[in-house]
Amino acid sequence: MKTIILGGGLAGVTLANMLSAKGETVFVLEQETSPGGLCRSEVSDGFTFDTGGSHIIFSRDLEVLSFIHNVLGKNRAERIRNTKILYKDRYVKYPFENALSELPREDCYYCLHEYIKTLMRSEKGEFSPPENFEEWILQIFGKGIADCYLIPYNTKIWNYPPSLMSAHWMEGRVPRPPVEDILKSAVGIPTEGYTHQAVFSYPVDGGIESLVHAIAAPIKDRIITGFRVTSISQKDGGYSVSNGRQTYTGDRIISTIPLQNLIPCLENVPGGVQKAVSDLKYNSVISIGIGISGDVPPYSWAYIPDSDVSRANRISFPSNFSDNAAPQGCSSVLAEITYNEGDFVSLMTDAEIVDHVTTSIAKIGLFSHDQILTTNVTKNQYAYVVYDLDYLKNIAIIRDYFSTGGISLVGRFSQFEYLNMDGVIRSVMNFIRDMK
């Protein structure tokens, strides 16, 4: 079996690695000059920045976690999570519901009171199934935590109103916080949420891209870079994939590239399928790396829900992930801004973005302008899958078409699912387990 894999991101190289280990012949076609996708890293003046946003390694899935750890080997550092949320000029503990005693007293009361009211209504069976993501937030956390943090932050990161997003994707992803934890949090007894993230890993050298390179090592000679697929045709039981200059043939195609890039390469796609793909919602991300002299706070990352404070929704500190991410005596910051083509952020120049981010971060006391040594700006068109209210209808049309179309879909933007790195690797493992 000769398999052509479209896309050399995390999903593509993991597929190639695992299929090759089973004895299959594989070729990976990647449009960029190197594999990596959203898991790319760049070195700027000695500072290593992840260009697809901040990535860390953690998972509840022990099989996936073991695979990652084994692949990285000694190139792995462990850290204890120390994450904050910037709330009214103070850095409070993450997750927000475990930091209620750190809020102003009136806000603590508001969050606690509304949570208890909501819990009582839930136990009485007064809620109908949530019709959208905002309703889900309100039914799980109450109006206080929703108003103070969850709705403004989710509006900012998704660049889309939570009231217009589906609630289906939250099932099993975020549990209702135990009432005991909420009460402890409100009176100042330490509690921990999302304990599967409490200890995380990160590569010592090379940024998160080193994970992709480690996975790709056994099959690196079968990764063809600079190959942007323009056409895919089926003939005599096989497939031909071309970029207009070169053609590769195989018995099977597995796509890990965005559906929006795949569909134009195919012949005779029904209009309904084309419309369903064009109606899918996603957003893009700008990653701004900042190298500074001196130290940063001992935080892993910080969320910024208030758009008036900064357009950045999250700030991470790569030099706190690995001692080798910044030169000696220096530190690094990575800011992320979510945007969509045509909005205000998308029209900003790189210089304007850097000026806004460095100025806004300096105002919240993380560093001063005279400490800045280097900056790095990267834009990724495909960053987050947005589950709008028509998502389930549209994805059903698309999956029904591809279920009989011969091309398999694996990974975040081919499956069009919001998958973290561990979810991407799990999707590959599941595909290989179930393939015929």
Residue 170 in domain:
yes
C-alpha–C-alpha distance, residues 218 and 239, integer Å = 25
Do 395 and 276 belong to one domain? yes
Residue 139 in domain:
yes
* pLDDT of 171: 75
Residue 322 in domain:
no
- Amino acid, res. 228: R
Contact 82, 107 (CB under 8 A): no
C-alpha–C-alpha distance, residues 287 and 380, integer Å = 8
Residues with Cβ < 8 Å from 114, sequence gap 6 or more?
142, 143, 144, 145, 146
Residue ending a domain, among 193, 225, 258, is 193
Residues with Cβ < 8 Å from 221, sequence gap 6 or more?
none
* pLDDT of 172: 66
Do 100 and 167 belong to one domain? yes
Task: Give the DSSP H/E element, type plus range, for residue 415.
Answer: helix 412-415
C-alpha–C-alpha distance, residues 117 and 120, integer Å = 5
C-alpha–C-alpha distance, residues 155 and 89, integer Å = 20
- CATH number for the domain harbouring residue 426: 3.50.50.60
Domain that holds residue 417: 2-36+209-280+387-434
Do 274 and 393 belong to one domain? yes
Do 263 and 412 belong to one domain? yes
Residue 290 in domain:
no
Where do we find the tokens 């390694």? 57
C-alpha–C-alpha distance, residues 370 and 33, integer Å = 35
Residue 294 in domain:
no
Residue 375 token pair: 């900056």
Residue 341 in domain:
no
User: Hey, is 199 helix, strand or coil?
Assistant: strand
Query: CB-side exposure of 239: number of CA atoms within 13 Å?
Result: 25
C-alpha–C-alpha distance, residues 276 and 274, integer Å = 5
Where do we find the tokens 């992803």? 173
Q: Compute the CA torsion angle 276, 416, 398, 216 (nearest 10 deg).
A: 130
What tens-digit pLDDT sequence spans the chain (436 residues)?
899 999 999 999 999 999 999 999 999 999 999 999 999 999 999 999 999 999 999 999 999 999 999 999 999 999 999 999 999 999 999 999 999 999 999 999 999 999 999 999 999 999 999 999 999 999 999 999 999 999 999 999 999 999 999 999 987 667 778 899 999 999 999 887 777 778 999 999 999 999 999 999 999 999 999 999 999 998 888 999 999 999 999 999 999 999 999 999 999 999 999 999 999 999 999 999 999 999 999 999 999 999 999 999 999 999 999 999 999 999 999 999 999 999 999 999 999 999 999 999 999 999 999 999 999 999 999 999 999 999 999 999 999 999 987 899 999 999 999 999 999 999 999 999 998 6
Contact 193, 95 (CB under 8 A): yes
Do 146 and 213 belong to one domain? no
Do 221 and 246 belong to one domain? yes
Do 182 and 215 belong to one domain? no
Contact 24, 354 (CB under 8 A): no
% helix, strand, coil for the chain, step of 5: 40, 25, 35
Residue 142 in domain:
yes
Do 226 and 173 belong to one domain? no
Do 119 and 189 belong to one domain? yes
Do 189 and 100 belong to one domain? yes
Do 102 and 171 belong to one domain? yes
Residue ending a domain, among 193, 222, 238, is 193
Residue 71 in domain:
no
Contact 52, 287 (CB under 8 A): yes
Beta bridge partners of 253: 4, 407
User: Hey, is 332 helix, strand or coil?
Assistant: strand
pTM above 0.85, yes or no: yes
Contact 302, 87 (CB under 8 A): no
C-alpha–C-alpha distance, residues 290 and 395, integer Å = 38
**Which phi and psi angles does 375 have, rounded to 5°?**
-135, 155
Do 155 and 110 belong to one domain? yes
Residue ending a domain, among 193, 226, 249, is 193
* pLDDT of 436: 65
* pLDDT of 236: 82
Residue from 202, 207, 286, 214 nearest 49 by CA: 207
- Tell the burial category of 106 from Cβ atoms under 10 Å away from its Cβ (0-12, 13-18, 19+): exposed
- How many structural domains compose the chain? 2
C-alpha–C-alpha distance, residues 333 and 315, integer Å = 7
Buried-state track 237-261, b at ≥16 Cβ within 10 A, e below 16: eebbbbbeeeebebebbbbbbbbeb
Contact 304, 120 (CB under 8 A): no
C-alpha–C-alpha distance, residues 147 and 132, integer Å = 16
* pLDDT of 53: 95
The number of residues making up the chain comes to 436
Residues with Cβ < 8 Å from 335, sequence gap 6 or more?
287, 288, 290, 310, 312, 314, 315, 357, 361
